[in-house]
Amino acid sequence: MENTVYFNKQVAEIIGLTGRQVLSWSEKGLIAAHIESIGSGQKRGYSYLNLLEFGLCRKLFSIGLGFRAVKKIINDLRERDMIRSWAEDFENYYQAVFKQQQSAYILWAAKTIDDIKTLPEDIQLKIKEFEDKFLKPHKPDKPIGVLVYFFSDDEKPTLEIIPWEMDYVANLNMIKEGFITSECTLLIDIGKIKRKIDESL
């Protein structure tokens, strides 16, 4: 699947776009085609990664974002190679994020908890639930993930694909803090976009 090349009509059918939209988004630099057209001799070809980008663009436009905002998000993701890393090697991506969150949790716990056994039982249970759900690594059957994007004029935007379900990601402290400190917060279930594309292939 990773090496398969898709053409304009196929992309339109898989993503649910018109052929004109596929062509326009490519010509305007929103999507960098895997194979660029050369005159009339070679058609523009798209990779599986391009399909994910098309699917994400479709979702971003559907919620009312303008062309410049969508292009910035796609470019930021492309520069960090984030979609490819998440979609093509989910297990390693998951483990890398797990280690980051584990380190952050341990630092937080070291600062705030002198002795976990002295805490009320209900708090101990909540910490145990957190560890079981978040800190114990496991590989879901299919790639899951939420694209998190914090917009800010003053700083470089925070951009991550967090490999957990939306109901869990929405309750993370970093999301709550982002809502407060950023000018705008965007949460997109990119795992759902990927699953729909995979079902169409």
pLDDT at 45: 93
Cα–Cα distances (Å) from 42 to 30, 45, 149, 153, 181, in that order, read 20, 9, 36, 41, 48
pTM (2 decimals)?
A: 0.82
162 token code pair:
């967090």
Higher pLDDT, 40 or 74: 74
pLDDT at 117: 55
How many Å is the maximal CA-CA distance in the chain? 74
Closest CA to 26 of 7, 39, 2: 7
Mean pLDDT of all residues in the chain? 83
188: pLDDT strictly greater than 90:
yes
Residue 141, CB-side half-sphere exposure with 13 Å CA sphere:
1
pLDDT at 152: 76
Residue 166: count of CB within 10 angstroms of its CB: 16
Torsion over CA: 14, 12, 147, 78 (sign): positive
Domain residue ranges in the chain: 8-63, 84-195
Helices 67-79 and 48-62, axial angle in degrees (round to 10): 150
Candidates 1.10.357.10, 1.10.3470.10, 3.40.50.2300, 1.10.1660.10; CATH matching 8-63: 1.10.1660.10
Once rounded to an integer, what is the mean pLDDT over residues 46-59? 96
175: pLDDT strictly greater than 90:
no
Question: What pLDDT, in 10s, does the model give residues 123-149?
Answer: 666 666 666 666 555 667 778 999 999
